[in-house]
Amino acid sequence: MFLFLPKAGRLLPAFIIALLTLCPLFSQEKITGVEDDADIGPIFDEDILLLEGEGITVTGSPETTQQMKVVTKEEIERHNAPDLATLLQETLNLGVTGYGGYGSQTGINMRGFDSERIAFLIDGIPANSTMTGDFDLSQLDLNAIERIEIIYGGSDTKYNVSGALGGVINIITAKKNKPGWRIGGSISNTSAIPGEYQKRSGGTGNPQWQDLVDTQNIALSTAFGSEKFSWSFNQFANRAGNHFLYTDYTDTVRRNESNEVWDTGASTSFIWNLPDTYSKLIASADLYYGDKNIPTKRGSSDVGKQTDFSTRQNIMLDMPRVGRDDLATEVSLSHAWQTLEYEPPAGSSSLHDQQVITAINRWTWYPRSWLTLRSGWDYRFNYLDSTDIGLRSRHDGGLYLTVEYKAHEKFLIIPSVKAVFSGPSEKPVVPVPKLGFLWKPLESLTLKNNYFRSFKYPDFEDLYWGGDALTQGNPDLKPEDGFGGDLGAAWQYGNWVGIESTFFTQWTTDSIHWSSGAGGVWRPENVGEALYFGLDSKVRGEIPLSAGPFRTIGLSLSYQYLLSYLLSYGYDFASDKRIPYMPMHTIGASLDFAWGAKDSRAGSLLITGHYEGLRFAERSNITELDPYFLLSVNVNQQIGGNLTAFAVVRNLLNTSYESFDDYPMPGITVTLGMRFTIEPLKEKK
């Protein structure tokens, strides 16, 4: 019944969040004997409660043959990023395609693929929109994220999700909490630098000093833990003016206007350790609301109004032991609801109401010390009520089997196949195989090799769009298909130096692209065929110091070379055409100074740089986007045992650049803020 709730039904997810918020009040137990963490007991042992270290899904493979990175809670806090896209750019050197300041549409690039072809997960649950295929990177509260797992390449065997051409990003929010109450929060202000500019109506505008208080953020969190349950609650609110100066294509300084954003959100999770077992029941929910002004085009005074609302609720049963020590399972059921309402400056408004039910069951069996079998299934029911697409529904899912065969103590083979389905479709069931190898010839050296098929069904927007006479969907679209492989090596010297390099290649066919045809009508077609070659290399080092002001000095360098060939629209290898918005060269660097013990004196200075080479805005490669370099400085300093002050200067060189054609990005900004955590709220004997 909840699939067809009216607008008033938004009270339901709010009620669910409120119910989870009250859980500790109904089930709180007195905590005794917790002078320190050593007295907590086995329930918080990492080997038993696997919420950390393996992600939220305990049956996910602890060793993947693919290139994988993890962004920790500590990194998230130290970067003080305004949104997920900025965080991934600064920590992992991923390319970002943005339409302006905070709250604007933003995507990321992995191995030459955009956000629509990257599988986003929240606590192991697929989160990409069935309507558009993408994922809104601005709707997540970074304070509620415990860590992020990034798996590069197609057809992963850790979570076995579909539609991952460029990779998988799993955002982990649920966590265990140590005994006692803890309260935290943060507040910050971001300033854009005022200056003279040219008005749209002509004449020179004076510096707008209110830009010094352009954007504010406030976040609060509460958490409680005991031996039997763990609970957390987070909420945030932002007000963003997005009034920054930029230089347009005529070298005229303008002021970005009519792009104001107000948004707020909340999330909560509850983890109950079931009596007399190692099993856990995990419930979580989140809520987001955004009110945004959207300019029809850059520099225009015509403004549309966009209202975003989304909520997710998930319940998971995690059983590391199912009647025997060598069998584990997890089962989850989730509901997601997303509403987008857009009111243009002229004409009628459009409303897109999307709901998704997802069920997942994963199993792991360890019949031998050298053999692990992983299998499971997932199912999604998608329902859309859209003024531009109509009433649509679809069933997606798949069934997979993965074998981890340890042929030698240093050699691992992982064959896997997933049968994916989507209905209605001309190809209701499609096999998606993968074969991976991992070899450790030395304790410090790891070699990885993968071969996979990448596969993705079309989205509702591509199939059925009918918003006006000049844009039409194509119900005859075929799925996007392709094959790929990679070969990587990672070398680790103690805890000091790590070097990793991965060569990858991928061939895609039937990629879906919109183009103008007869009568000027825009329509998507399976015209995309492309070949990618790339090299992704990273060097990280940390030097511990016993003398001087610094505790450690860290250095990180990364470089991605991406050579893409567009083989559609009559182009071939001799045409030498690149995929739009995918640079050939992407370089990242960071220098990290940490000082003081990990107490009231701890602090850090983090300097990051990100460079993207020449990009093209369209397939003919005529419109060029200039290379750009972003330099940022981030300072954190603890004051006392509970308070941390931070200051961030982003785009320190005030680089004028565009990550998407005709959408300038902010220049230099300065963020000042405070973060607090109170943890001593424990009861003693």
The pLDDT tens digits for 199-257 are 877 889 999 999 999 999 999 999 999 888 899 999 999 999 999 998 888 888 989 88
Q: What is the pLDDT of residue 301?
A: 66
Q: For residue 684, what are its two tokens?
A: 């003693």
Question: What does DSSP say about strands 522-544 and 497-516: parallel, antiparallel, or unpaired?
Answer: antiparallel
How far apart (Å, rounded) are the C-alpha atoms in residues 308 and 337?
11
Contacts of 344 (CB under 8 A, 6+ apart): 296, 304
Q: How far apart are CA 593 and CA 605, in angstroms?
A: 5
354 token code pair: 């999307």
In one-letter notation, the amino acid at residue 548 is G
Tokens of 254: 């303008």
The token pair at 372 is 């692990």
Which parts of the chain have pLDDT scores under 70? 1-63, 296-301, 424-427, 518, 598-600, 680-685
Return the bridge partners of 514, or none.
Answer: 524
What is the bridge-based pairing of β-strands 125-126 and 147-152? Answer: unpaired
Contact criterion met (CB below 8 Å) for 463 and 414: no
Domain residue limits at 450: 2-366+375-681
**CATH number of the domain within which 431 lies:** 2.40.170.20
Q: What is the pLDDT of residue 402?
A: 93
Distance separating alpha carbons of residues 677 and 639, to the nearest angstrom: 11
CA–CA gap between residue 557 and residue 486 (Å, rounded): 21
Q: Dmax of the chain from CA atoms?
A: 80
Closest CA to 333 of 312, 309, 352: 312
Looking at residue 537, its pLDDT comes to 96
Assigned token pair, 81: 């990023």
> How many angstroms separate the Cα of 428 from the Cα of each of 305, 309, 356, 421, 477?
39, 32, 19, 5, 14
How many C-beta atoms surround the C-beta of residue 626 within 10 A? 12
Strands 167-172 and 118-122: parallel
How much is the pLDDT for 25? 40
- How far apart (Å, rounded) are the C-alpha atoms in residues 633 and 307? 33
Length, in residues, of the chain: 685
The one-letter amino acid code at 210 reads: Q
Cα 218 to the center of its chain, rounded Å: 21
First to last CA, the chain: 49
pLDDT at 122: 92
Alpha-carbon distance of 10 to 369, in angstroms, equals 50
Cβ(535)–Cβ(568) under 8 Å? no
- Asked if residue 112 lies in contact with residue 29, where contact means CB atoms within 8 angstroms, the answer is no
DSSP for 447-515, please give it: EEEEEEEEEEPPPHHHHH--SBTTB---TTPPPEEEEEEEEEEEEEETTTEEEEEEEEEEEEEEEEEEE
Domains of the chain: total: 1
Q: Which residues contact 139 (CB under 8 A, 6 or more apart)?
A: 263, 265, 288, 290, 308, 310
**b/e per residue 192-206 (b: at least 16 CB within 10 A):** bbbeebeeeeeeebe
Residue 212 · residue 195 · CB < 8 Å? no
Report the b/e string of 411-443 with b at 16+ CB within 10 A: ebbbbbbbebbbeebeeeebebebbbbbbeeee
